[in-house]
Amino acid sequence: MEDGRPRVFAGHPAQMYHGRVQALFKTVLAYVRKHKLFSPGGRVGVAVSAGLDSVALLRLLLELRHELGIVVSVVHFNHKLRQNESNADECFVASLAKQHSLEIHVGHGDVRTHAAAKHLSLETAARQLRYEYFRQLLLDGTLSSIATAHTLDDQAETVLLRLGRGAGTRGLAGIYPGVLVSGEKSKSLAIVRPLLCIRRNELEPYLNSVQQTWREDSSNRDLRHARNRVRHEVLPVLERDLNPAVREVFAETAEIARAEEEYWAQQTSQLLPAIWEVAPDRNGGVFKAGSLSSLPLAVQRRLIRAAAESLGLRLEFRHVEEILASGNSVSLPHGWQVQAQKAELIFRQETERPTQLDYEFRLPLPGTVDVPPLGSRFEAILVSRAAVYNPEHLLDRTRLRDELQVRNWRAGDRFHPTHSKGPRKVKELLQKQHVTGSERKLWPVLVSGSDLVWVRGFAVSANFQLGNGSNDAVLVREVPLSSGERVFSHP
How do residues 329-350 score in pLDDT, each as one tens digit? 888 877 788 888 877 888 987 6
Q: Are residues 193 and 49 in the same domain?
A: yes
Write down how long the chain is. 491
Q: What is the pLDDT of residue 352?
A: 45
The answer on pLDDT for 49 being more than 90 is yes
| Residues 219, 74 share a domain | yes
**Which residues sit opposite 396 in a β-bridge?**
473
pLDDT for 157: 94
Number of Cβ atoms within 10 Å of the Cβ of 72: 20
**Residue 413 above 80 pLDDT?**
yes
Whether 273 is covered by a domain: the verdict is no
Judgement on whether residues 324 and 366 belong to the same structural domain of the protein:
no
Q: Does the pLDDT value for residue 327 go beyond 80?
A: no
User: Looking at the domain assignment, is residue 269 inside a domain?
Assistant: no
- Clarify whether residues 10 and 87 are in a common domain: yes
Number of domains forming the structure of the chain: 3
Residue 25 has pLDDT above 50, yes or no: yes
| pLDDT above 60 (res 1) | no
151 and 195, same domain (yes or no): yes
Q: Please check whether residues 367 and 291 belong to one and the same domain.
A: no
Residue 491 lies in a domain: no
Judged against a pLDDT cut of 80, whether residue 161 lies above it is answered with yes
Q: Work out the average pLDDT over 468-481.
A: 76
Answer yes or no: do 292 and 393 share one domain.
no
Q: Are residues 170 and 287 in the same domain?
A: no
pLDDT number for residue 354: 44
Q: Which residues, 6 or more positions from 223, have their beta carbon under 8 angstroms from its beta carbon?
A: 229, 232, 233
Same domain, 363 and 413: yes
Domain end position, chosen among 258, 274, 293: 258
What range does the domain containing 15 cover? 6-258
CATH number, domain of 240, equals 3.40.50.620
Average pLDDT over residues 155-170: 87
For the chain, give the percent of residues with pLDDT over 90: 37
Percent above pLDDT 70 for the chain: 87
pLDDT for 488: 31
| pLDDT at position 281 | 62
CATH number assigned to the domain comprising residue 308:
3.30.465.60
Residues 194 and 249 placed together within one structural domain of the fold: yes
Same domain, 397 and 310: no
Q: Is residue 27 part of a domain?
A: yes
Of 315, 309, 313, 339, whose CA–CA distance to 326 is shortest?
Answer: 339
What is the average pLDDT across 262-286? 85
- The reported pLDDT for the residue numbered 151 is 97
Q: What is the mean pLDDT of residues 32-58?
A: 95
Domain end among 349, 368, 384: 349
pLDDT of residue 256: 95
In a domain, 266, yes or no: no
Express each pLDDT in 360-397 by its tens digit.
Answer: 888 888 888 888 888 788 888 887 766 545 677 788 88
- Tell me, what's the pLDDT at 100? 97
Tell me what pLDDT residue 175 has: 93
Out of 349, 371, 390, a domain closes at 349
Please determine, for residue 141, whether its predicted confidence score (pLDDT) is greater than 80.
Answer: yes
Q: Is the pLDDT of residue 93 over 80?
A: yes
Pairing of strands 43-47, 145-147: parallel
303 and 373 share a domain? no
Q: Is residue 101 part of a domain?
A: yes
> What is residue 367's predicted lDDT score, i.e. its pLDDT?
82
Least confident of 61-75, 178-192, 260-274, 366-380: 178-192
Report yes or no on 1 lying in a domain: no
Whether 104 is covered by a domain: the verdict is: yes
Write down the pLDDT at residue 11.
43
